[in-house]
Amino acid sequence: MLVLKLATSPKIILLNTILWLTVGLAHGKTMQVLPQIDAKFQQAVSASTVPGISVAIADNTGVVWANGYGLADIENQVTMTPKHKMRIGSVAKLITVAAMMRLLEQQKIDLDRGITEYVSVWPTKHAPLTLRQLASHTAGIRHYNNSDEFLMNQHFADVSSSLTIFKDDNLLFKPGDKTQYSTFAFSLIAAALEGANSPLNFKQIVQQQVFAPLGMQDSVFDDQADIIAFRQRPYNTIDGKLFNAPQTDHSYKYAGGGFLATASDISRFAVAHASPGYLQAESLSQLFSPTKLNDGSTNGFGIGWMINFDSFKRRSYYQDNSRAQQLMASFDNAAMHAGGSNGGTTMMILCRDHQRAVTVVKNVDGEHSADVFLLALETLSHFHKL
């Protein structure tokens, strides 16, 4: 159904501005550059195709600033707030990887054993592949074949049953030979985590290994039938018009793209990976070391994480953008992940040198006027100066 976005009221703008100043003053931050960031987000949600945006930045002291802009629900005129749980898309992969690394530290799994040791239903016709290859997108597992798979609205009772979507398809290449981004690879990781940690299911593993130890009380699985407080309303943009996003069931891809979370939770999650504590130093080293292919070359992934801006620098819409290139060059030791979902677009960047992370999420996909990557870079850069 077509929906129209109404203008944000002056009262809402005033409340956002007060929240901005209050949070900044509470943390003793210099205020002279903060309105510049505020203006960028206000401009972003002024577009008719951008319902709302949530942003949060955190460091090793916790969340230092979080704000919502525009609307979380257009039809009911619900203002976007930092409390809203957003569709974070493929940033979910990092949550899955965190659970995997915790189980590795507990000696419950081995990243380099064959996957059939953990997943009995995985066909033996396939060449041997490992958790390390799955998490670095080098296992040869395919991605979505079409939009019907991306927008699937079929419920799967468990992780193993969701493997039927792709488990009998041929691998795209010999594991370790190439890189092919794959959300389905993470469904297989989830099944392996269950196999290594029986009788717990994937949801219970994530709760025990990630949400509970990191205090992520505003992160949940995106189950469409559940009543979830402060759930965002998802939207699509098609041919320049805003629509309600179609209903989708994420039970087939929880591990690769099926979470709701506040921007604050995700930024704090990222900062927990900036230094040993939540994970051991050896685990962090593995996460952020480039993956070696069979021929000795490397790709832009560590274990789950994108470990540099190289792929962004090469994208056509950033190649000639001097500001984007300048911002990327200013962060030498950054790790990140983007997320595209049905009704959500996310960018999370961790500056490992300064133990600071930013997350920017808008509750719409197929929309290009508000670039969450550039907004995240600008926000991180401004806080870097404070």
- Give 146-205 pLDDT, tens digit per residue: 999 999 999 999 999 999 999 999 999 999 999 999 999 999 999 999 999 999 999 999
Residue 21 falls inside a structural domain: no
Residue 15 falls inside a structural domain: no
Q: What is the pLDDT of residue 106?
A: 98
Residue 152 falls inside a structural domain: yes
Residue 326 falls inside a structural domain: no
C-alpha 144/C-alpha 146 separation (Å) is: 6
Residue 17 falls inside a structural domain: no
User: How many other C-beta atoms lie within 10 A of the C-beta of residue 186?
Assistant: 27
Q: What is the pLDDT of residue 385?
A: 66
Residue 16 falls inside a structural domain: no
CB 237 within 8 A of CB 243: yes
Calculate helix-pair angle for 263-271, 92-105, nearest 10 degrees.
40
Residue 383 falls inside a structural domain: no
Of the CA atoms within 13 Å of residue 158, those in its CB half-sphere come to 12
* Residue 332 burial (C-beta neighbours within 10 Å; 0-12, 13-18, 19+): exposed
CB 134 within 8 A of CB 122: no
Which structure tokens are listed for 26?
Answer: 């509470």
In angstroms, the Cα distances linking 340 to 15, 229, 246, 367, 373 are: 29, 22, 15, 11, 12
Q: What is the pLDDT of residue 332?
A: 85
Which ranges in 110-182 belong to alpha helices (H)? Answer: 131-135, 147-150, 159-162
For position 217, which CATH number holds?
Answer: 3.40.710.10
Q: What is the largest CA-CA distance in the chain?
A: 62
- Give 89-131 pLDDT, tens digit per residue: 999 999 999 999 999 999 999 999 999 999 999 999 999 999 9
Number of domains in the chain: 1
Residue 53 DSSP SS3:
strand
Plot region of 307 (φ>0 → left; ψ -120 to 50 → alpha; else → beta): alpha
Domain that holds residue 282: 47-58+79-261+277-321+333-375
Q: What is the pLDDT of residue 384?
A: 81
Low-confidence stretches of the chain (pLDDT < 50) are: 1-33
Residue 142 falls inside a structural domain: yes
Alpha-carbon torsion (146, 150, 153, 156), positive or negative: positive
pTM of the model: 0.92
